[in-house]
Structure 1
C-alpha cells in the first residue's frame, strides 16, 4: 500500500464529532443511521485497491451502477488512488463529497480531505486547497482530524508559494496535533527556507524527540545543523540517514550532502613541480 493510499485509508469513515453543547437528540431515522455507519464494503474495497487496483475500479463501478451512493463513489476514489491515477481519484472523491453534502452525512469533511490529498498528489495545489477549505467549512472536523487538514493545507500553500499562510496553518496544526512529528518536521523545513534558524532548530528538536529514527527528520536535522555551522552534528545526522535508510530519497540526499561536505574539507593540492628539463 502506498503511503498516500494508507493516509486515505485512515480517513475512511466519519470524522470525530466536534465538541458542542449538549442538546436533545432526536431518534435516528433509518437514513441518519445509515449515514453514521461505515459501509463494511469500503474495507474490502481498500484491501483490493492495495493489491489489485484494476479489479477494484471494476468492482467500484459495478457498485456505483447498483446505486451504491456515497460509499461506492468513495470506493472508486480509493481504487483509482491504488493505481496512482490521482486526477480520477480526486474526481471520484469530490463527487462523493458533494453527494454526501446533499444527504447531510457526517463523512463529508473526510471526503473533501481525500479529494484534497488526491489533488495534491496530482500536483494541483490550488484545487487541493479548495477541497481542504471545504472540508473545514463542513464543521465536522475536530481535534486530530482538524489538525491533519491544517497540515495538508500547509503543504498545498507551500506548493502555491504562499509561505506566510503555510506557516500559520502549520502553527495551527502543531496546536491540534502536537504529537505528530510530520507537523514539526514541516514547520522546521519551512522555517529553514524562510531563514528563521531559531524556529527551525526548535521545531526539528521536537520532531526528533517524537520520531528519533525517522530518516526525513534526521536529514532535516542535519541540514539545519549545517546552516548553524555545526558541521560535526550535520555529518553525524546524514551518516545515520545513509546507514538506516539505504535506497531512499532521504539517503540519496544525505549521501549528496556528505559528498559536498567531504569535498569542502579536502585541502587544496599543492602545485606539482615539473621535472627538470621538461
Structure 2
C-alpha cells in the first residue's frame, strides 16, 4: 500500500513554478488576491511577488494608484484612462500610464498586450531609473509567465535581474530570482533553477516562497534531506500555508515518515477543506487509510 502511494508522489507535479506571479501592477499592500481573469485566464496566483510595485514620484503617485485601482475594478475603462494619460504625457512620464495600461490588460487576461505595455513603460524611462526599469521588466516577465511563454518571460526577467542587482534592492532581487526560477523550471533548466533559488534565499532570507520552491526542487532531485531543511524554514516563516503543508507531507512520505506526512496533510485539510490543496491532501490521507 505504501508503495502505491509513493509512486504518484514521486511523479508529483508541484514543480518550482507553483503559480505564476501577480501582474496586477498594484503594490503588495493593495493586491492581496489575484483578480479574476475574463479572457484567456491563467492559473491563479495566490501570492503577489515583491516585483509588482513600481513607485511613482509624489506628483503622479495618486493618479497612478487611482488608475491601478480602476484597472482592478473596471479594466475596460482603465484602458481608456491610461490611453488618455499616455496622450498627454511625454518621455519617462509615460511609464506610469503604461504601467496602468498593462495592469488593466492583465486583469482582462490579455497577457501578451500587458507584457508589451510593461515593456514600453520600461523603455521610456531613462537608464538611470534602475529600480523602476527592473520592476517594469519583471511585470512584463510575469505577464509572459501567466501565458506560459517561458522563453519570453525569461528574457524580460533577465533584464529585470540585471537592474535589480545593480540597484542593491534585496527584496527586488529575491522576488525576481523567484520569478526566474519559475521560468527556468518550466524550461527544464533545473541546475539554473537551483542557482536562481540560491540567489533568492541569499537576498531574501525571510521570503517563504524562496524556501518552499527550493524544497520542491530538492525533492524533485531526490535530495530529501535538503528538501526537509528548506521546507522547515518555509513553514517557520509562514506557519499556515496550504502549499507548504502539502509539500511538507510529500517530503515526509518520500522520506519514510508516514505519521509526519499524515499530520502535514491533515493540517492542510483542516485549514481550508474546500481548497484544491486540501483535496489533494485528502486523497493522500485516504490512500494511507486503505487496509
Partner of 1:255: 282
- Counterpart Cα distance in 2 of 1:197 and 1:76: 44
Q: Answer whether contact 1:222 1:238 (CA < 8 A) is retained.
A: yes
- Counterpart Cα distance in 2 of 1:245 and 1:87: 34
How has the CA–CA distance of structure 1 residues 132 and 5 changed in structure 2, closer, same or farther, with 3 Å as cutoff? closer
Partner of 1:193: 220
Partner of 1:105: 129
Cα-to-partner distance string for 1:207-236 (whole Å, 9 max, x where unaligned): 111111111111100010000111111111
How has the CA–CA distance of structure 1 residues 141 and 57 changed in structure 2, closer, same or farther, with 3 Å as cutoff? farther
Q: Measure how far apart 1:260 and its partner are.
A: 2.6
Cα-to-partner distance string for 1:178-229 (whole Å, 9 max, x where unaligned): 0011110000001101111011000001011111111111110001000011
1:235-250 mapped onto 2 (5 Å cutoff):
235-250=262-277
Q: Measure how far apart 1:85 and its partner are.
A: 2.0
Q: 1:218 aligns with which of 245, 251, 264?
A: 245
SS in 2 for 1:229: coil
Q: 2:119 aligns with which of 85, 94, 100?
A: 94
SS in 1 for 2:109: coil
Partner of 2:46: none
Q: Answer whether contact 2:23 2:139 (CA < 8 A) is retained.
A: no
TM-score by length of 2: 0.78
How has the CA–CA distance of structure 1 residues 53 and 247 changed in structure 2, closer, same or farther, with 3 Å as cutoff? farther
Q: Measure how far apart 1:172 and its partner are.
A: 1.0
Bigger shift: residues 76-85 or 172-181: 76-85
- Counterpart Cα distance in 1 of 2:168 and 2:122: 14
Q: 2:101 aligns with which of 57, 61, 76?
A: 76
Q: Measure how far apart 1:136 and its partner are.
A: 2.3
1:22-171 mapped onto 2 (5 Å cutoff):
39-67=61-89, 69-101=94-126, 104-106=128-130, 107-138=132-163, 139-140=166-167, 142-171=169-198
Partner of 1:13: 54
RMSD: 2.1
Bigger shift: residues 55-64 or 206-215: 55-64
Q: Which has the higher contact order (CA 8 A, sep 6+)?
A: 2
Q: Answer whether contact 1:218 1:237 (CA < 8 A) is retained.
A: yes
Larger Rg: 1
Unaligned runs of 5+ in 2: 1-19, 29-51
How has the CA–CA distance of structure 1 residues 3 and 195 changed in structure 2, closer, same or farther, with 3 Å as cutoff? closer
Q: Answer whether contact 2:103 2:114 (CA < 8 A) is retained.
A: yes
Q: Answer whether contact 1:185 1:203 (CA < 8 A) is retained.
A: yes
- Counterpart Cα distance in 1 of 2:150 and 2:242: 26
- Counterpart Cα distance in 1 of 2:86 and 2:190: 40
Q: Answer whether contact 1:154 1:166 (CA < 8 A) is retained.
A: yes
Q: How many residues align?
A: 243
- Counterpart Cα distance in 2 of 1:7 and 1:45: 10
- Counterpart Cα distance in 2 of 1:120 and 1:221: 26
Q: Measure how far apart 1:6 and its partner are.
A: 5.6
How has the CA–CA distance of structure 1 residues 141 and 97 changed in structure 2, closer, same or farther, with 3 Å as cutoff? farther
- Counterpart Cα distance in 2 of 1:260 and 1:187: 27
Partner of 1:4: 22
Q: Answer whether contact 1:13 1:38 (CA < 8 A) is retained.
A: no
